[in-house]
Amino acid sequence: MTDCIFCKIINREIPSYTVYEDEDVYAFLDITQTTKGHTLVIPKQHVTDIFEYDEKLAATLFSKVPKIARALEKSFPDMEGLNLINNNKELAYQSVFHSHIHLIPRYSKEDDFSITFANNGDKYTSEEMAEIAKTIKENI
């Protein structure tokens, strides 16, 4: 893809701070550095989002994530946790449409970063939950 900023980074048309690279995967520091060490892991193959992955690409990319996460943990002993985030489509906050996984080291609860998971469980009956699960299972 010619207009993709991540493809341009992979092709060295735009500089980046590389932390890992092999023939299929490229990982580099996110220029925003939400926290120190914020890293993006991307497939070299241009895919827009998780919905375009096949099993081989998913296995290849996701198998590198723990290796890079361990490198972050070893590099930053004060890191107390790690958020792994993959946004897919605009509504889910995807802003670059080349699939990427954020590895965001967490150092304290005071980091300028937060995620909220609302509890909406009481909005569904057990029958509705069973139907939701059944629908998903049928589509796997």
Point out the residues that are catalytic: 100
The token pair that represents 77 in the structure block: 């002993």
Residues 81, 62: contact at Cβ < 8 Å?
Answer: no
Sign of the Cα pseudo-torsion (107, 64, 115, 100, in order): positive
d(CA 60, CA 53): 10
The token pair that represents 117 in the structure block: 């998971």
Apex 92 CA angle, 102 and 38, nearest 5 = 15
Side by side, which strands form the sheet with 101-106?
Answer: 18-21, 25-29, 39-43, 101-106, 81-85
